[in-house]
Structure 1
């Protein structure tokens, strides 16, 4: 008799919801039984595997993970701040690696928080609040977090008020000594926005690094790069990647001027 498979296996279907920023979709991964991709207005924002938080589909998230792991060889974070939540990919990973860490996620879209919390909730409790990332940082205590992960976008760009020297100084104030700032940046050739962002962060932090794929860093194609600041570790690079620091980063910035608040 022919088999018809496991009749008790639930059929996963995409979940669609209206959110403050438009239309969100949670799409199941047919290749992984508990894998989901979050799309907002048709653009992939996050990927999570509920069974394996260490399975990371996006290259820049793997870079963030390697940076955190490299920093964590010599420290254990007690407090982690995430600016931007998405499907909580990085908070789930942090909970796997450092289950004792207290995590706070600031996400600007309350409807997206509700969707993710309802459909694919994290295995471990994570504090999630709706609000503006800059306002949350300005209210945070001095040296309040060991790790800050900034991954905030409106469409395909970082909000302008999060890309200034004044905000970078607030991040430096909130980061504990020996802590690490990890910031996702997306850009297109010739990477002018990234050069400005590196100069902006360097105006507030003594030590800065830039991790990314070589074609992106060289301005040959669009993509994501990861700005690191604070106690920047020697991050292992994958094939086709570079970690720029010190003199190489000065050359990359090419004299770009830091961005200031519009009213300053």
Structure 2
């Protein structure tokens, strides 16, 4: 089953109450009867609320899931929703975090969804890149696969290279019968690499990428080593030329990563803009920071209308390095 964590969380308080009940000198046994029973009822009620909350959490996380897998990185679940409806889709969940969804109908399965709509920062970078507008193929790197949604923007002649650290996530989008088919359906050359993206990029020769999309920061625990000065130096080494783009997905419930990316851009003399795209149907609102060397992409009218400036020279920005990072300063207030 998938109850071990929640049972362990409940086990501690249950054990504490049991020990107190067995101790004749504890506050659950000493004093007048009214006081003792008031404390006991309070303890029992607290345990009941805790148990109910933990059970509801597991049930919610696994509701509708047809494929549940547990690995080193936790439990992931694939759920089929809106069954029989024209909008039926398959969704990937990791706890309460949704990492992507795909429509099941052949007519809509290449449609970009969730945080990766056409007007998202990544969508704009892929659709409006100067090379794309000139009819030339793109070389694209993806750090964090999710369900492979960004491959929906692939065109013939493109090269997509996706890095994913979780083997269970990778298996859902690869193989002869994948649960999610964005990669398989893409008309581009698609390569997947299993492992830590930074380590893999350090081993790779310069890839000549036009767009590098970093999408590993939407969960509760973020890989800080992908947002340091040294990591950004590595990303820049893999860009093709002055019109290369790094798109960083910074949608996060608890952390405000925009100042972090802004500080990194400033450290390299780059320009950073925020694309805060609205929700529409199966496309969710999202925040992406686009980092560029020159303004070729930002001069595009569609990008210009969507982009909000992020000053890179503001004092006091927390510059993260391999030796220093501060998640407390990044907490949303």
Runs of at least 5 residues in structure 1 that lack an aligned partner in the other structure: 1-11, 215-222
Match of 2:128, SS state, is helix
Aligned positions of 1:32-111 closer than 5 A: 32=86, 35-49=89-103, 51=106, 52-53=108-109, 55-59=111-115, 61-62=117-118, 63=120, 64-71=122-129, 72-74=132-134, 76-91=136-151, 93-95=152-154, 98-111=155-168
Aligned positions of 1:192-203 closer than 5 A: 193-203=257-267
Runs of at least 5 residues in structure 2 that lack an aligned partner in the other structure: 1-63, 279-284, 326-333
Structure 1 residues 33, 58: CA separation in 2 closer, same or farther (over 3 Å shift)?
Answer: closer
Displacement of 1:29 in angstroms is 3.3
- Structure of higher CA gyration radius: 2
Q: Partner residue of 1:175?
A: 239
Q: TM-score, normalised by structure 2?
A: 0.61
Native 8 Å contact 1:107 1:129 kept in 2: yes
Of Structure 1 and Structure 2, which has the larger fraction of its residues in strand?
1
Displacement of 1:69 in angstroms is 0.9
Of Structure 1 and Structure 2, which has the larger fraction of its residues in helix?
2
Q: CA RMSD in A?
A: 3.2
Q: Number of residues paired by the alignment?
A: 236
Return the alpha-carbon distance in structure 2 between the equivalents of residues 227 and 74 of structure 1: 24
Which protein, 1 or 2, shows the higher relative CO under an 8 Å CA cutoff with sep ≥ 6? Answer: 1
Native 8 Å contact 1:77 1:146 kept in 2: no
Return the alpha-carbon distance in structure 1 between the equivalents of residues 307 and 76 of structure 2: 34
Match of 1:106, SS state, is strand
Native 8 Å contact 2:81 2:91 kept in 1: yes
2:76 to 24, 30, 33: 24
**CA displacement, residues 67-97 of structure 1 (integer Å, 9 cap, x when unaligned):** 3212132463442111110111112x133xx
Q: TM-score, normalised by structure 1?
A: 0.76
Return the alpha-carbon distance in structure 1 between the equivalents of residues 75 and 207 of structure 2: 37
